[in-house]
């Protein structure tokens, strides 16, 4: 949880100052650290402006074929070690986001060619352009988010734990 908060703060501060570099390293106790300054043995992470994902319009979900449901495991299936939602944090309350939610995912190792990222926002699947993106039309209330990586056949290779977060919006009726 702490590392998620640190990464979120670094991403926000990097975007605000125009910086595009974040460094990540693991210390001798196994604690993950993030910084905007280089550190011996640190991995350089590139931070870019998030692409946006257009609002989802309800449609009939595509039916999976029996071949997609029964696809055999491939060596790439075991290649991903972890997928987590870094931002927003689980149980986090976000204030006045204007309907736009920045999402940051952590995937180890990196996304492989031909594989796609899909998120389930409040139970509705959406294809997204990568590991950092924005969702539109995210309004006040409780929301659920889960991410997964799928291969060319649509087979899920790895899935994150689902998280719940909350959006609060200041009402213009409560202003003095």
pLDDT in tens, 21-34: 778 878 888 888 87
At a CB cut-off of 8 Å and minimum separation 6, what does 93 contact? 165, 166, 167, 168
Cβ atoms of 86 and 7 within 8 Å: the answer is yes
Q: 16 in helix, strand or coil?
A: helix
Binned at pLDDT 50, 70 and 90, residue 121 comes out as: very high
How many angstroms separate the CA atoms of 31 and 165, rounded? 25
List phi, psi (to 5°) of 66. -55, -35
- Mean pLDDT over 162-174 rounds to 83
pLDDT score, position 75: 47
The CATH class of the 50-55+66-171 domain is mainly beta
Kindly list the domain boundaries of the chain, sorted by start residue: 1-48, 50-55+66-171
Residue 167 vs residue 15, higher pLDDT: 167
Range 28-62 burial, b when 16+ CB lie within 10 A, else e = eeeeeebeeeeeeebeeeebeebeebeeeeeeeee
Name the β-bridge partners of 3: none
Q: How far apart are CA 165 and CA 140, in angstroms?
A: 10
- Model pLDDT, residue 66: 52
Q: In what order do the strands lie in the sheet with 100-108?
A: 52-53, 132-136, 100-108, 82-87
Quickly state the pLDDT bin for 147 (edges 50, 70, 90).
Answer: very high
């Amino acid at each position: 949880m702490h590392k998620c908060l640190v990464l979120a703060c670094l991403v926000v501060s990097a975007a605000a100052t125009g910086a595009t570099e974040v460094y990540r390293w693991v210390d001798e106790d196994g604690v993950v650290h993030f910084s905007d300054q280089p550190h011996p043995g640190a991995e350089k992470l590139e931070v870019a402006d998030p692409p946006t994902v257009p609002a989802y319009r309800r449609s009939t979900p595509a039916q999976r074929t029996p071949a997609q449901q029964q696809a055999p495991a491939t060596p790439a299936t075991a290649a991903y070690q972890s997928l987590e939602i870094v931002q927003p944090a689980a149980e986090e309350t976000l204030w006045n986001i204007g309907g736009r939610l920045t999402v940051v995912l952590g995937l180890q190792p990196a996304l492989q060619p031909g594989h796609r990222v899909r998120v389930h926002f409040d139970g509705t699947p959406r294809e997204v352009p990568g590991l950092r993106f924005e969702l539109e039309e995210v309004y006040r209330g409780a929301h659920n988010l889960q991410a997964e990586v799928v291969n060319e056949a649509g087979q899920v290779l790895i899935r994150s734990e689902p998280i719940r977060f909350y959006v609060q919006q200041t009402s213009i009726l409560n202003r003095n």
